[in-house]
Amino acid sequence: MSREHRWEASLEHGGEPAELASEHGPPDTAHGRATEWVADHDTETRDSAAALGTRGGPGAWNAAEAGEPVALARPGFGDARWSFLYNRRDTEYAAAVPARGQVAAANRRMRDAPVSDVRGPIIHAPLWKWQVATYFWLGGMASGTAFVALACDAAGDHRSAAIARKVALGVVAPGPLLLIDDLGRPERFLNMTRIFKPRSPMNTGSWCLVAFSSSGALAVAADLVRRPKIARAAGALTAVLGSYLGSYTGVLLACTAVPVWGRSRTVLGPAFVATATATGAAATRLVLVASGLPSGHPTRRALGTIETASMLTELSISALGERRLGDAGDALSRGRPGLYFRTAKTLVAIGISLRLVARRTGPREHELASFMYLAAGLLFRFAWVYAGRESARDDAVVATTARDASTPPDGRGQVWQERALSSRRSPLPIPDVVRRAYGEAVRRTSLAVERRIRR
């Protein structure tokens, strides 16, 4: 039997799609995502059964003889060249010869031509939801707390430093769980560290999260077994790692085609660091107060000052950024993200007023202000994450942003050469064999975990 026939026979043998559906059934995972998607696409009748093999598995069939070419195959893509109906000289399809520069000029002219009607969607909206926004908040808080721990040590307040290190670890701990929950295939979370890829902010961020958590855990462990030198050294390392953990989230958002994020590329990182510092200081301050740090202690005051100063910095950076955004800034001022943003700003204003009032009244108002800053930090993250969705759906803004992408005076061709980043070189002096073996080991572990969970 020829391969073609065998293929058809196997299809016939497989029966009607309905039977296959009952045999394999739709995947029982991702049910929540599926229902949400169904809500805005009318797809209740969607049949997701695999025609060959099982869903998610390879659609495999056996070759008649190993190594034999497939029926209809033509070596060197002769198949493709043969299908060029119009490429032959007996048609007028492409008979003319273009003048020098004719095509490039036509391309430029039409791409610059005024257009009144934009038919979207141009880009897909990001999928990230509350898990990611909450992680941004917690990760930022952890890194801010790590800064505080380092500063406490430097100022000689080692008791507060030890507490801050515990707070940092406790706050960062739920982060990975939130991120795993946000994955389409949560059981494959290990693949995040399958390779080291400096040009992908999500990859470097994952590694940074691993390093930050490890070093934070080491510091806390050293505190517990009373090895202060190790604890301080690990704490300092955690703070340095925190300077990336608290800011890479901004880079992550900036490295997308979403107008409101991409245009804020130099604003997002600094703004996120400012929120991180404010929320980290606020969380540490509240824990320190609860743990009995006496009223009037310089650490309490320093933390309060840091909170307010960072929040004011965040507000001014945001204000500067919004001016450069133009129409893309609408995503931050309208709808749900706009509400989050305005509420966050109000909470900061209330916090600052409370701080002023507290000069007369006392510590209770200071504590209340810290809570306000924590809530404001969370809302800032939600505003930025959800603004991305709104922005990506605004086809007119996406189109304008693409048109405005200005050509640098030195010509983009040269810029590309410099920008190729890690794709041009190996990032670490690790033998290729080791790197590949490591990546393959992580991938296989990941798949084994998946199989175990599915069963």
- What residues from 50 to 69 belong to the interface with other proteins (CB under 8 A)? 50-52, 55-56, 59, 69
Shortest spacing between CB 338 and other proteins, in angstroms: 20
CA dist 307 and 406 (Å) reads 38
Q: Pick one of 352, 366, 376, 387: the residue that binds other proteins (CB under 8 A).
A: 366
User: Segment contacting other proteins (CB under 8 A): 215-223, 227-235, 303-311, 331-339?
Assistant: 303-311
* Residue 110 binds other proteins, judged by CB under 8 A: yes
Q: Is 405 helix (H, G, I), strand (E, B) or coil?
A: coil
CA 352 from chain centre, in angstroms, equals 31
Residue found under tokens 């925190």? 242
* Residue 3 binds other proteins, judged by CB under 8 A: no
CA 307 from chain centre, in angstroms, equals 26
Q: Pick one of 15, 54, 224, 301: the residue that binds other proteins (CB under 8 A).
A: 301
CA dist 76 and 270 (Å) reads 52
* Residue 99 binds other proteins, judged by CB under 8 A: yes
User: Segment contacting other proteins (CB under 8 A): 165-173, 212-220, 375-383, 418-426?
Assistant: 418-426
Task: Record the tokens describing residue 85, joined without a space.
Answer: 């109906």
Instruction: Draw the binding track, 312-341, toward other proteins (x: CB under 8 A; -: no contact).
Output: ------------------------------
Cβ proximity to other proteins, 22 vs 107, nearer residue: 107
Q: Pick one of 10, 22, 54, 83: the residue that binds other proteins (CB under 8 A).
A: 83
CB-CB neighbours of 294 under 10 Å: 8
Q: Pick one of 283, 288, 306, 372: the residue that binds other proteins (CB under 8 A).
A: 306
Cβ proximity to other proteins, 254 vs 376, nearer residue: 254
Least Cα distance to 209 among 176, 247, 170 occurs for: 176
* Residue 148 binds other proteins, judged by CB under 8 A: yes
* Residue 428 binds other proteins, judged by CB under 8 A: no
Contacts of 402 (CB under 8 A, 6+ apart): 122
* Residue 421 binds other proteins, judged by CB under 8 A: yes
Contacts of 146 (CB under 8 A, 6+ apart): 164, 165, 168, 212, 216, 235, 238, 239, 241, 242, 280
Size of the site for other proteins (CB under 8 A): 177
* DSSP code per residue over 36-48: HHHHHS--TT---
Residues 9-48 contacting other proteins, CB under 8 A: 26-27, 29-30, 33-34, 36-37, 41-48
Residues 163-202 contacting other proteins, CB under 8 A: 182-186, 188-189, 191-192, 194-195, 197, 199-202
* Residue 122 binds other proteins, judged by CB under 8 A: yes
CA 162 from chain centre, in angstroms, equals 31
Shortest spacing between CB 225 and other proteins, in angstroms: 26
Contacts of 277 (CB under 8 A, 6+ apart): 144, 147, 246, 306, 310
Q: Pick one of 224, 290, 320, 402: the residue that binds other proteins (CB under 8 A).
A: 402
Task: Record the tokens describing residue 177, joined without a space.
Answer: 């769980």
CA dist 203 and 95 (Å) reads 49
